[in-house]
């Protein structure tokens, strides 16, 4: 299980679940004006957040792989606004899928996804950063929210 326990795998799983809910319960599928456009904007916003985060982490020469030891505390760029831009990007991609498929029945999934990501990844990552970077991490985390 550990070999596949990565956030993108969880995201794909939640997207498949969203798609499945639209197929199993078609009566819960809604349509709204500009549905495709809204889904596209959310998708692009999510991917851009992820790319900005990866860029900042690469510049700092630290890992993007969960559970690996960080080499640097990245607090600049997109990390000035959110402690977890990659996970926030994942969340936006999930919401984009929900909007695209019009899956009213899946509206609870972003909340569940966020709780799963916090429990499986964020809490452990933050504990490692607290250990590695001490008061610098504490200061940054006090002024920078997890999810914005």
Whole-number pLDDT of residue 1: 58
Whole-number pLDDT of residue 55: 97
Token reading at 63: 């890992």
Compute CA distances 35 → 42, 49, 92, 102, 117, whole Å. 11, 21, 15, 8, 27
> Is the residue at 136 inside a domain?
yes
> Is the residue at 13 inside a domain?
no
> Is the residue at 1 inside a domain?
no
Query: Cα 52–8–78 angle (5° rounding)?
Result: 20
Whole-number pLDDT of residue 78: 97
Contact (CB, 8 A) for 98 and 106: yes
Number of folded domains that form the chain:
1
Q: What is the pTM of this model?
A: 0.93
Contact (CB, 8 A) for 124 and 9: no
Rounded distance, CA 31 to CA 40, Å?
A: 15
Helix axes 35-59, 85-101, angle to 10 degrees: 160
pLDDT band at 29 (very low <50, low <70, confident <90, very high): confident
Task: Tell me the per-residue pLDDT of 41-88, one tens digit each, with 9 for 90 and over.
Answer: 999 999 999 999 999 999 999 999 888 999 999 999 999 999 999 999
Does the pLDDT value for residue 11 go beyond 80?
Answer: yes
Rounded distance, CA 100 to CA 109, Å?
A: 14
Whole-number pLDDT of residue 4: 82
Whole-number pLDDT of residue 76: 95
* Domain of 96, in residue numbers: 36-143
Residue in the structure block whose two tokens are 């809604």: 30
> Is the residue at 83 inside a domain?
yes
Q: Tell which wins on pLDDT, 29 or 40.
A: 40
> Is the residue at 2 inside a domain?
no
> Is the residue at 46 inside a domain?
yes
């Amino acid at each position: 299980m550990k070999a596949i326990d990565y956030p993108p795998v969880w995201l794909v799983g939640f997207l498949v679940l969203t798609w499945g809910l639209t197929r199993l319960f078609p009566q819960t599928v809604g349509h709204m004006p500009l549905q495709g456009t809204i889904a596209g904007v959310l998708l692009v916003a999510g991917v851009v957040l992820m790319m900005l985060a990866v860029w900042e982490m690469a510049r700092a020469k630290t890992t993007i792989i969960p559970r690996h030891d960080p080499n640097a505390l990245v607090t600049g760029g997109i990390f000035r606004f959110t402690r977890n831009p990659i996970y926030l990007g994942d969340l936006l991609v999930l919401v984009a899928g929900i909007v695209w498929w019009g899956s009213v029945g899946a509206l609870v999934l972003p909340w569940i996804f966020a709780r799963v990501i916090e429990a499986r990844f964020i809490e452990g990552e933050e504990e490692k950063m607290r250990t590695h970077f001490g008061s610098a991490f504490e200061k940054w985390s006090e002024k920078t929210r997890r999810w914005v």
